[in-house]
Chains A and B, each alone.
Chain A
Amino acid sequence: MRQYILFKDALKGLWKENPVFRQLLGMCPTLAVTNAAIFGLSMGLATFFVLLCSSIIISIFRRVFPHQVRIASFVVIIATFVTVVDLFLKGNFPEISKALGPYVPLIVVNCLILGRQEVFASKNPLHRAVADALGMGIGFTLALIALASIRELLGSGTIFGVQILTLVGEGGRFRPWIIMLLPAGAFLTLGTMIGISNFFTGRAAKKSACH
């Protein structure tokens, strides 16, 4: 029974309550950094890490935080882990760090993370909080990769840098869709993806549950 609950906690993040497609949480990084799959993956993992660590801390100490400074404390904890990730990326993956630029610090205010702390970690025991964070983190990462792959494929003909469609200049016939790498393309692609997923699951997406 216990396993079952944990399983459910973890699984719901993948599709039923997918933070991107279903809950529309953390939209800014979702849109901003997904013009190449590798960035989507990095951003997803970074977010995942912060989510997991802060969920653990907050779940453990959930009874300590007084109501009035609850959010402030959560935010500080999250910001701390974000700084850790940021330093880590700067030290080890300077290119990625540069590409993600200011969107790494924005993980601090990613509604997904704060939202999960508010709704879940601060109210549930450690093991469930971890399961939830795992599900949400993986769901978020997968969604980012999916969106980023589509944009990268159409925008540059590659996925994770691997050439899939040969370009016009290089003997192929594909002309990259530059819009896919631009803000407009991000909005359009995500909008269309959400539309299609609604079409197949037969329900209109919940309105932004972010704030």
Chain B
Amino acid sequence: MNELLLIIISAVVINNFVLKYFLGICPFLGVSKQVEASLSMGMAVTFVMTLTAPVVWLINTFILVKFDLRFLEYVTDIIVIAALVQLVEMFIRKTSHGLYRTLGIYLPLITTNCAILFSALFLVLRGYNLIQSTLFGFGSGVGFTLAIVIMAGIREELDFADVPEALQGAASTLIIAGFLALAFMGFSGMPTK
């Protein structure tokens, strides 16, 4: 139990995907202009990550490892992610209009979000079991959401600040991401799993 909790905590704050591993930077820069939008994006990412983790784990354990086909990992992972994202999108669109409006439009962007592929690769690397993998996927998604929502909060505030023209947009966002990474360093050295 403790261990599972640790997996989530470490994925959320200590080894935050965005701030420590530089993953999912493109949406982190692109979709962090408004809190609502980034929350939706974060939720979509979390959803897909939680879903892909077990699927990837199953394929990996029961096909790739079994038949010594580890070198196909990248290809199978990505194809699973791409297909899952598309299925989820279609499903949501069909079933819930409201959900589609908040999550759906971000789903296509997720296929190429490297955070998701990384979480797939990482859980194999770490040798997590099925439950651990799922929690890890979930935690990483939450970590991404946390980072992007904080960034969005700051950027909304910055809309009213007097940022020099040359630094507006990507430049200031990156610099603030740097500050965030500095602040999150306070958690380094914590026990992780």
Contacts and interface: CB of A to CB of B under 8 A. Distances in A.
Consider the complex of A and B and state whether they touch directly, i.e. have CB atoms less than 8 Å apart.
yes
Interface of A: 24-28, 31-32, 71-72, 75-76, 78-80, 82-83, 86-87, 102, 105-106, 108-111, 114, 179, 182-188, 190-192, 194-196, 198-199, 204-208, 210-211
Secondary structure of the B side of the interface? helix
Contact of B79 (A72, A186, A210): A72
A169 to B, nearest CB: 24
Given A191-B173, A210-B27, 8 more contacts: A79-B75, A105-B121, A183-B19, A183-B178, A195-B175, A205-B169, A208-B27, A211-B109
B127 to A, nearest CB: 15
A51 to B, nearest CB: 14
Given A27-B25, A182-B181, A184-B178, A194 B82 contact: no
Contacts of B171: 191-192, 194-195, 198, 205
Contacts of B187: none
Contacts of B74: 79, 82-83, 86, 105, 108
Nearest to A26: B26
Contact of A87 (B71, B117, B169): B71
Contacts of A87: 71
Interface of B: 19-27, 29-31, 71-75, 77-79, 82-83, 86, 108-109, 111-114, 116-118, 121-122, 125, 164-175, 177-179, 181-182, 185
A102 B125 contact: yes
27 contacts: A24-B26, A24-B29, A24-B170, A27-B29, A28-B26, A31-B22, A32-B23, A72-B82, A72-B83, A75-B78, A76-B78, A78-B78, A79-B74, A79-B78, A102-B121, A102-B122, A102-B125, A105-B73, A106-B117, A179-B182, A183-B19, A183-B181, A194-B171, A198-B165, A204-B165, A206-B169, A210-B30
Contacts of B175: 187-188, 191-192, 195
A43 to B, nearest CB: 12
Contacts of B121: 102, 105
Secondary structure of the A side of the interface? helix
A116 to B, nearest CB: 12
Contact of A32 (B21, B77, B165): B21
A80 B75 contact: yes
Minimum-distance CB pairs A-B, first 7: A191-B174, A187-B178, A208-B30, A210-B26, A191-B175, A188-B178, A27-B25
A205 B20 CA distance: 25
